[in-house]
Amino acid sequence: MFVTRIACRSRYDRAFAPEHRSSTMSFAVFLLYVFLSFFRPIELFVPEIAEFRPMLVLWTLGFVLAASRAMVRKQVAARAIDFKLLFAFMATLGLSLLFNGWAGGAVTAMNDFSTSSMLFVLVALNVTTLERLKKTCAAVVLSMLFAAGFGIQAFHTGQYASQLVLRQTAPSHEDDDPSRAPPSAASEIPAQDTTGWYLWRVRGQGFLSDPNDFSQVLVMCLPLLWAAWQAGKHLRNLLFVLAPGAVMGYAIFLSQSRGALLGAASLLFFVVRDWLGTTRTTVLMALGGTGFIALSAVGGRGFSSKEQSAGERIEAWSVGLELLKWRPIFGAGYGNFTDHHHLTAHNSFVLCFAELGLVGYFLWIAMIVLTYKSLSTVIDCMPSRNPSRQMVALLRNSLVGFLVCAWFLSRTYQPVLYFLLALCVSAWYCASQSPGMTDRDSPAYQRVHNIKWVKSTFLMMAFTLFAVKAFVVSHYLGNGG
């Protein structure tokens, strides 16, 4: 009998060994793609090979391998409703242009969004176990740690500064004659420029070349660092959590992104709330935020709506509300906001309802609400020490921090949001497969698999529209408008 079992196992191993190797290769390619997508060493060190589209080649290989694995195992992390909302939103991009009289732009719009949508699909195909989820999060954190480290050294040494540090005219000198700028303002080492004529803002490469995008992803990564935390392991925690967190925090500071600082503050809320409770934490954060805004000095970039940059953003939000009134169903059309205003919306929520109307806004908010409620339900249903629950909680914090930043950035269609949503959905999937969560008759199973999201989506739409309106009204009242 024992020999028979050995022989059967040997035949089993031989039969499934190719599939296992293919699965391992597929995930390795995926992790490499994730790392290179966020760090972008090709653009930084060997830009001459970029013309051969290595990232596209890597993505294609990763997608083919992952799709093959998913078909064999019949295993995908995302639910049918996740895909339906995503591709309905994609179709709405095309419809928004079709109903604005540009039928030819419909295909172009959906093609533009395909990078984001297919990245969501790629994550759902690959991240189907807790181990894979942890490795994917680790790859993102490691890539951003590299990006933050190189950005910091560029700021202090000048090496790669032209690629990794953006120079902008300081608000106090925006109306001055550029020819009057002191020669030292063009210093090759940003940290040594003491003239105050310019803002030097650390950034990344590729789709993170904007300092705001760069810092937003760093905010997203901060909670994920805590997946490496182990109680009582002081040296380990210092090396793998606290020190990397300090590097990322400093890079966020050097990016001089006000939205990212508020995003980081929102993460602090979750940490402090566990100690003080929700009410006292809210009061404390409100007082701290008021004091911080009163200082109104983050490297020369204030938070007041009377400050030119902030005022221009709120004026753009006002235009967004007018566009929604003008075209409430399908909006002004994908990519058409700047046809009606000289600046983009500087708010992902405003950009969405202004360009896509209430239909597109419902689908976009629905993806966020469904994902958030799925994570929250898992947290409520699982034991506090469950490893899957821990990852779910960390990713929920990442999502909150990211969305706080998105309130000040026009990133409605950008890939990082859909990458993060896919990670969150995968975290929900991994948790739903945990022991004790697979019994279809159990109350926990019913709660986790039957998320009520439609009513919450409408409530969130109403709340965000009201918030935007309140910002606009308070701005004009404060400026005597």
The whole-angstrom separation of Cα 425 and Cα 321 is 31
Contact 353, 96 (CB under 8 A): no
Q: Evaluate if residue 217 carries a pLDDT over 70.
A: yes
Q: Considering only residues 180 and 478, tell me which one the structure prediction assigns the higher pLDDT.
A: 180
Radius of gyration of the chain (CA): 24
Which tokens in the block code for residue 420? 């993060």
Ranges 11-20, 76-85, 98-107, 380-389, most confident = 76-85
387-406 and 211-224 helices, crossing angle to 10°: 160
pLDDT band at 147 (very low <50, low <70, confident <90, very high): very high
pLDDT for 282 = 53
Q: Evaluate if residue 305 carries a pLDDT over 80.
A: no
User: What is the tens place of the pLDDT at every residue in 171-194?
Assistant: 777 777 777 777 765 567 999 888
Q: Evaluate if residue 37 carries a pLDDT over 90.
A: yes
Average pLDDT, the chain: 85
User: What is the tens place of the pLDDT at every residue in 59-77?
Assistant: 999 999 999 888 888 889 9
The whole-angstrom separation of Cα 473 and Cα 481 is 9
pLDDT for 440 = 79
User: What is the tens place of the pLDDT at every residue in 69-105?
Assistant: 888 888 899 999 999 999 999 999 999 999 988 888 8
The predicted model scores a pTM of: 0.88
Contact 193, 187 (CB under 8 A): yes
Q: Evaluate if residue 222 carries a pLDDT over 80.
A: yes
User: What is the tens place of the pLDDT at every residue in 324-378?
Assistant: 999 999 999 999 999 998 888 989 999 999 999 999 999 999 999 999 999 999 9
Q: Evaluate if residue 318 carries a pLDDT over 60.
A: yes
DSSP 347: S
pLDDT for 271 = 65
User: What integer is the mean pLDDT of 29-57?
Assistant: 91
pLDDT for 211 = 95
pLDDT for 385 = 80
3-class secondary-structure state, position 17: helix
At 61, which amino acid appears?
A: L
Least confident interval from 247-256, 266-275, 316-325: 266-275
Q: What phi and psi values does residue 36 have, to the nearest 5 degrees? A: -70, -25
Asked whether the CA dihedral 143, 148, 153, 154 is positive or negative, the reply is positive
Percent of the residues in the chain that have a pLDDT greater than 70, as a whole number:
84
